[in-house]
Amino acid sequence: MMPTARIRRIALLSGWLLVSLISLLPILGIVVGLWPAEHITFADIEAFLGYQGLSASVFMTLFSALFSTLISLYIAFMVYSQYHLNRRLQSFEKYLAPLLSLPHLAIALGLVFLFSDGSVFFVDSGLPRKGLSTLIIAIVIKEVPFFLLIFSAIGRQLPIKYWLLQGQALGYQEYRCWWFLVFPALLKQSRLALLAATAYTLSVVDVSLLVGPNIPELFAVSVYRWQTSFGVGEQALAFWANVLLLILLAVSVLILYGHEKLAHAGCKALATKGSRFYIGSINPVFKAWLPMLALLTAMMVLVFALWSFGFNWHSDSFAFTQLTTRLWQDEWLFFALPLQNSLLIGLFSGLLGVAFALLALELQRQKGKYWPDYYWLLAIILPQLSMVLGWQILHIWSQGGYHSGWIVLSHLPFTFAYAYLVLKGPFQSVEPRYELLAASFGYSPWQSWWQVRFRLLLPAIFTAFAIAFSVSIAQYIPTLMLGAGRVTTITTEAVAIGSGSQQDLIALYVLLQSILPFMAFFVAALLARRFRGSMGRQDARNY
Amino acid sequence: MTSRLFRSLSNIFSVCFVLVSVATANANPEFKRITTIEENSAQWQHTLKAAKGQSVYFYAWGGSKAVNDYIRWATREIAQQYRVKLIHVKVTDPSEPVSRLKAENGRTSAIDLMWVNGENFAYLKQQKFLLGNLWSTIPNTAFLAVDSLPITVDFGEPMDGFEVPWGIGQFNLIAENGVFQESQVSAKSLLNIAKKNPNTVTYPRPPEFHGTTFLKQLLVNLTDADLRLYQSATQQAQDALLPVLWQYLDQLHPYLWQQGKAFPSSAAEQLLLYQQKTLSMAVSFNPNQWLKEKSTQQISESSLRRYFTDGAITNSHNLAIPKSAPSTDAAKVVINFMLSEKAQQEKFTGVWGDPSVITSLFDETATMPAHPELHSSWHVLIEDAWQQQYGG
Amino acid sequence: MLEIINCQIEAKTWRITLPDIDVKKGELLVITGPSGIGKSTLLHWLLGNIPQHVAIKGQIMLSGINITHLAIEQRRVGLLMQDVYLFPHLNVQDNICFALPKNPQRSSKKQRRAAAMNMLEQINLAHLGTRYPQNLSGGERSRVGLIRALANQPQVMLLDEPFAALDPRTREQMGAWAFQQLTEQNIPSVMVSHDVEDIPASAKRLCLADYYQASEQK
């Protein structure tokens, strides 16, 4: 075997090894974490199933997860269809940055701050303070920009403009072309993002506690409660609840796949029916979505900022002149270090996550076979608390000490999963002939990979990094369980503060939590525009 | 019975209860008179010396700025006096350190000192996760006001030296003066207030600790402090006493916030709603929280403290050291400091307002009339039954 | 000079056995045949891009060296496809730069860019230098594509229906111009084409259908 071929083989093998390790961590974690410490019997299932309100709770949870995800998907698609080809609005990605930086809980808190009685902006939105609809809205507000970002990354690689031209030439209105021609392609490539969003909503605890219904509680909250109480029999309930949670996750995966098939079939049927008559377009409304969301987010940020500067509008005695930076000054000593930790951990785990995602994609491409999507996303599909508990047990067992390296490692499965889901679509859409050409020019496989494929993927890579970075910033449970207080991040501080009732402090820490992701998304959007991708800018002069 | 007569009877009762529970606890000479080492003993000097330079990772709730600021103050003092580094690990849920200890399973722990609440203490003690003999090896435990306060038993479980009381919790309501005009509240008066001011009264959803305690207060009031509540719950007792509570709640719920279809998830969230003037009452275990919140303009000027006519259910919140903690000496030094007059004074008069547990600072007038905790078996029963009745 | 020896294309149900072919410097070989018979596949095999669905056996000799088992990047073979595939993230000048072979004399970016611009000037396309591929017309794109391929100084040029997407007039112009360039630079070329009109009279022809054999094997 020639030396270069041997090096190549070793490189490939080690690549596979690394990637397997990262993707197996979630499974390892969940197995160790769910392993019952006490004796669990099947008799406990009876106790579990007899829990009052279980079926309603499960149904509500499943419904809220799937409904919020799908509705976000459709809204995002309709918004995307408005913005994609409009040159002036093409830079909408920049505006996504603030929308994406606020963590989910912050959005829910923002809704609470804005729309509660006594608020300066009080508008009776008709939403219950705690209810399923409020929860779904809070989730949708964050998910729509997320899907938009994904569509942006995917759409860059697809010849959408040509499809539309083709369809219109055949006599279909533009928006119908969007549905028949573009939607199926986008849907297929957003599969992973859908999975991630559904898994998140299914297991979200903090947002559910704040704005979700609690008669009955959402299932994830019940699971969390059982898992964190140590009374007699509670741990057995927790075990079976986790089993049910896993089943629910599997069911949602199946439902999403089913939805995809249905949607494809539906679009195909409608397309082949050939009807060309005019249907009233609802699209102009969606042009307003993004500005509306942006306005809402801006208001939330404003409210948080005002509170952090001492604007307490519930106080009986308040004047604008009382605004002060005292809280910021007081707390500066205490959030400087966590902020720094968050930044460094985010950078490392984000970069590594993107690197491993690219590695995993490339290895699969070389092999020619792509593993099932949900395998790579296990970290975000499996119940986080149990999985990280498993890691915690292994970490304690290994007596490895508590430094940031372990935290980076614990964030890695998550950053990897999100980077993978952002990159998969664009990666697969890269025209392989470019690399063929580069080879014909004498570039070795390594060189052509870097100079052609990597280069073409740069915008998507920037997006993937921004998302991975923000995911790392937002991680609470891994940091807490593996850092044991030695490593504090801005999120561990923010979550602890959030469990109290001091509104100004909560507002302050929410803003701090959002600063880093905001910078990441903003920079990524700027860089993505500067470095052209596979299709570059859609210019009217094409063909 | 007039309320004053009942108050004094209740006080006597509390003291008797304490004595009874003390007597029925394992006959242990330590409890009759706290015998512990002296400050200037060789053993303590050794502990002090070993503690110098050590770090103490203190797992304590981090949601309250008042508590955080107090701990920051303590950190500075302890660093100065003892050269021990106290590090506050902000915990969101009291179960976090417990899960960690369970996962560690005896290995060297990441936790040196933890703030324990009643629900978890029994488990921790049973699993033998805690370091014992704290009372006999920490000098300042001699000053604990065991005669005046029920602080040797945590939620029905005798402390037995496995944890040390840090402060007192007394269940009270923080309420709008205009709505809750009487200083005391009974089940009946609460119902009337709820009827007059619908949609402004509520309680945290059980099994949250404050929520369950609220229900316990109601139960005590409705059953006239039936003696069976302070003993292990029998099936008969349940069948006799609990339905009274459910009948009451059936009447109350329609006038509650969200008509009882949703509840605040925690006491903190209820306080948030109260601050936003959505609710007319909030619940608390800190008897002075209302004062401190008012002084920082967190709540309205017309807020006052209210408590149930039978007396405020009283318990202590405590500190414990895991058996496998790496810096047990330093942790003991920290506890010693926390029990010192200076620290207890600052805790009470400073931003936090948590009542003191030592005799020299024990102020009967600052606390509300106390009512003993129910037997711990009732706690779980009430939670489970509430879930059955209203939780689904 | 390019030599193809003992070439056989084998599929499940048919086989094509080719005679030994040689293409001298400056010569053009045109491969014709019905659609789907494997013209492009053969071309890609010459490039080094092993086809998946058929098996091709044989030897390729380039200037006396057997390149049959060499990797694509080692063969010095140029390729021009119907969709020109100019790199979209690079402008025209940089596209050509990319193809320039590593030369110790011209190793700095500035020098390479100057060389690329030089090449563009020689064919009067200097004004396209800073444009991006999306902003070129079909004809311009084809021209730049060929120049880029030639910039690499290949030993043989492969053309896969390079002008099929152009309108007839431009196609004629492009064809003539391309062959002129190839002849001038003395590069043996192999072209796949559908259109008989494209082929200059001086070219050798190879119709794959002539060598087609249905095989009885399973």
Task: Give the pLDDT confidence of A327-372 residue by residue, as tens digits.
Answer: 888 889 889 999 999 999 999 999 999 999 999 999 999 888 999 8
Give the burial class of C124: count Cβ atoms within 10 A of its Cβ; 0-12 exposed, 13-18 middle, 19 or more buried: exposed
Which value, to the nearest 10 degrees, does the dihedral of the CA atoms of residues A483, A238, A393, A357 take? -70
Q: Is residue C116 part of a domain?
A: no
Contact B262 A215 (CB under 8 A): yes
Sequence-distant (≥ 6) Cβ neighbours of residue A517 within 8 angstroms: A100, A101, A466, A469, A470, A473, A474
Nearest to B94 by CA among B251, B257, B208: B208
B290 in contact with chain A, both atoms CB, cutoff 8 A: no
Give the three-class secondary structure for C61.
Answer: strand
Residue of A nearest to B61 (CA): A496
Which pLDDT band, with edges at 50, 70 and 90, does B22 fall under? very low
pLDDT, position A84: 73
Strand ranges (DSSP E) for chain C? 2-10, 14-17, 21-23, 28-32, 55-62, 65-66, 77-80, 156-160, 189-192, 204-207, 212-214
Q: Tokens in use for A513?
A: 């939590």
Contact A144, A76 (CB under 8 A): yes
pLDDT above 60: residue B19: no
Structural domains in chain A, sorted by start: 54-304 (1.10.3720.10), 330-533 (1.10.3720.10)
* The dihedral sign for the CA sequence B7, B8, B9, B11: positive
pLDDT band at A542 (very low <50, low <70, confident <90, very high): very low
Report chain A's C-alpha Rg in angstroms.
Answer: 24
Per-residue pLDDT of B173-194, as tens digits, reads: 999 999 999 889 999 999 999 9
**Beta carbons of B97 and B124 less than 8 angstroms apart:** no
Cβ-Cβ contacts under 8 Å, C102 against chain A: 442
3-state secondary structure of B90: strand
- Mark residue A408 as left, alpha or beta (left: phi above 0; alpha: psi -120 to 50; beta: remaining): alpha
Q: Which residue of B has its CA nearest to A222?
A: B207
What does the pLDDT average to over B240-255? 94
> Touching C: which chains, 3+ CB pairs < 8 A?
A
* pLDDT exceeds cutoff 70 at B13: no
Side-chain half-sphere exposure of B344, counting CA atoms within 13 A:
23
Is B62 in contact with A499 (Cβ distance < 8 A)?
A: yes
The CATH homologous superfamily to which domain B170-313+374-390 belongs is Periplasmic binding protein-like II (3.40.190.10)
Please, what is the angle between helix A92-101 and helix A455-474, to 10°? 20
Whether residue C105 lies inside any domain: the answer is no
Q: Report pLDDT for B30.
A: 40
Q: Is the pLDDT of residue A321 over 60?
A: yes
The SS3 assignment for C103 reads coil
Q: Tell me which H or E stretch contains B148.
A: none
Q: Minimal CA–CA distance to B116: which of B106, B130, B136?
A: B130
Verdict on whether the full-model pTM lies above 0.95: no
CA distance C177 to B307: 99
Provide, rounded to the nearest whole percent, the portion of chain B with pLDDT above 70: 91
More confident residue, A192 or C103: A192
Chains A, B: CB pairs < 8 Å: 161
pLDDT at residue B368 greater than cutoff 90 = no
Residue from the list A228, A231, A503 with its beta carbon closest to the beta carbon of B272 = A503
> Is residue A216 a contact partner of residue A52, using CB atoms and an 8 Å limit?
yes
Contact A440 C73 (CB under 8 A): yes
Quickly state the pLDDT bin for B365 (edges 50, 70, 90): low
User: Do residues B305 and B174 touch, judged by C-beta distance below 8 A?
Assistant: yes
C92 lies in some domain: no
pLDDT in tens, C50-65: 888 888 889 998 888 8
If one counts the domains in chain C, the total is 1
Q: What is the CATH number of the domain that holds C25?
A: 3.40.50.300
Confidence bin at B8 (pLDDT 50/70/90): low
**CA B148, B151, B156: angle at the middle one, nearest 5?**
130
Chain C residues within an 8 Å CB radius of A442: 73-74, 76, 101-102, 152
Token couple for A162: 């040509």
Residue of A nearest to B273 (CA): A116
Alpha carbon distance B308, C29 (integer Å): 103
Report the percent of chain C where pLDDT is more than 70: 96
For A270, other C-beta atoms within 10 Å of its C-beta total: 13
Q: pLDDT tens-digit profile of A504-518?
A: 899 999 999 999 999
Q: Stretch B382-386: mean pLDDT, rounded? A: 92
Subunits with 3+ C-beta pairs closer than 8 A to A: B, C
pLDDT at C24 over 50: yes
Q: Is C35 domain-assigned?
A: yes
What mean pLDDT is reported for chain A?
86
Q: Do chains C and B touch (3 or more CB pairs under 8 A)?
A: no
CA distances from A440 to A435, C25, C109, C148, C150 (A): 9, 19, 21, 11, 11
**Across chain B, where does the E strand assignment appear?**
55-61, 85-91, 113-116, 153-154, 157-158, 163-170, 172-176, 184-185, 281-284, 303-308, 312-320, 370-371
Nearest to C194 by CA among C84, C27, C82: C82
| Percent of chain A predicted with pLDDT > 70 | 91
How far apart CA B303 and CA A271 sit, in angstroms, is: 66
CA distance A314 to A122: 12
Reported confidence tier of residue A296, pLDDT bands at 50, 70, 90: confident
Query: How far, in Å, CA of B115 to CA of B90, rounded?
Result: 11
Spatial separation of the C-alpha atoms in residues B265 and A534, rounded to whole Å: 49
Q: Quick check: is C113 in a domain?
A: no
* pLDDT digits 0-9 by tens, A57-94: 999 999 999 999 999 999 999 888 887 766 555 566 66
Q: pLDDT at position B16, please?
A: 47
Taking alpha carbons only, the member of A432, A444, A3 closest to residue C75 is A444
| Residue A277: predicted pLDDT | 52
Q: pLDDT grade, residue B232 (50/70/90)?
A: confident
The whole-number average pLDDT for the span A179-202 is 90
Bridge partners (DSSP) listed for residue B116: B318
Interface confidence, given as ipTM, is 0.90
Q: Tell me which DSSP letter residue A534 carries.
A: S
| Beta-carbon separation of C132 and A437 below 8 A | no
pLDDT of residue B14: 53
* Rounded-to-integer distance, Cα A48 and Cα A44, Å: 6
Tokens describing residue B195: 């009827």
Using alpha carbons only, give the angle A517, A521, A526 rounded to the nearest 5 degrees.
Answer: 150
Taking residue C173's Cβ as centre, other Cβ atoms within 10 Å add up to 15
- Select the residue of A216, A500, A502 nearest B391 (Cβ to Cβ): A216
Tell me what the mean pLDDT of segment B349-374 comes to: 84
Q: Which residues of chain B lie closer than 8 angstroms to A392, CB-CB?
A: 100, 103
User: In which domain, by residue range, is C193 found?
Assistant: 2-84+156-214
Domain B3-167+317-364 - what CATH class?
Answer: alpha beta
Q: Please, are residues C120 and C147 in contact by the beta-carbon 8 Å criterion?
A: yes
Residue among B216, B258, B217, B265 at smallest CA distance from B382: B216
Q: Which residues of chain B have a CB within 8 Å of the CB of A214?
A: 205, 262-263, 265
Asked if residue C216 has pLDDT above 80, the reply is: no
Nearest CA in chain A to B60: A496
The residue with greater pLDDT, B321 or B30, is B321
For residue B176, CA distances in Å to A480, A496, B139, B200 come to 38, 28, 43, 10
Tell me the per-residue pLDDT of C140-154, one tens digit each, with 9 for 90 and over.
Answer: 888 899 999 998 888
Calculate mean pLDDT across residues B315-327: 94
Q: Answer yes or no: is C112 within a domain.
A: no
Put simply, the answer to whether A129 touches B258 (Cβ < 8 Å) is yes
pLDDT at B309: 92
Q: 3-state secondary structure string, A458-517?
A: HHHHHHHHHHHHHHHHHCCHHHHHHHCCCCCCHHHHHHHHHCCCCHHHHHHHHHHHHHHH
Tokens of A445: 């496989």
* B264-288 pLDDT tens trace: 999 999 999 998 888 999 999 999 9
Chain B residues in contact with A105 by the CB 8 A cut-off are none
| Closest among B64, B69, B115 to B316, alpha carbons compared | B115
Q: Which residue of A has its CA nearest to C102?
A: A442
Judged by average pLDDT, the poorest of A277-286, A299-308, A532-541 is: A532-541
CATH 3.40.190.10 location in chain B: 3-167+317-364, 170-313+374-390
Q: How far is A37 from chain B (nearest CA, A)?
A: 9
Q: What percent of chain C has pLDDT over 90?
A: 8
Q: Are B308 and B185 in contact (CB under 8 A)?
A: yes
**Residue at C95 is within a domain:** no
Contact B120, B68 (CB under 8 A): no
How much is the average pLDDT of B89-116? Answer: 91
Confidence of residue A538 (pLDDT cuts 50, 70, 90): very low
Q: What angle do CA A518, A521, A524 make, to 5 degrees?
A: 145
pLDDT at residue number A2: 63
Cis? peptide before B207, omega within 30° of 0: yes
Our CA dihedral for A388, A392, A398, A399, rounded to 10 degrees, sits at 150
Give C166→chain A minimum CA distance, Å: 11
Contact state of A542 with C134 under an 8 Å Cβ cutoff: yes
Q: Which of A30-44, A346-360, C85-99 has the lowest mean pLDDT?
A: A30-44
Q: Is C59 within the bounds of a domain?
A: yes
pLDDT at A416: 96
Q: What is the mean pLDDT of the segment spanning A218-229?
A: 90
CA atoms of C25 and A208, how far apart (whole Å): 75
Cis peptide before B322 (omega within 30 of 0): no
Contacts B110 to A, Cβ<8 Å: 402, 484-486
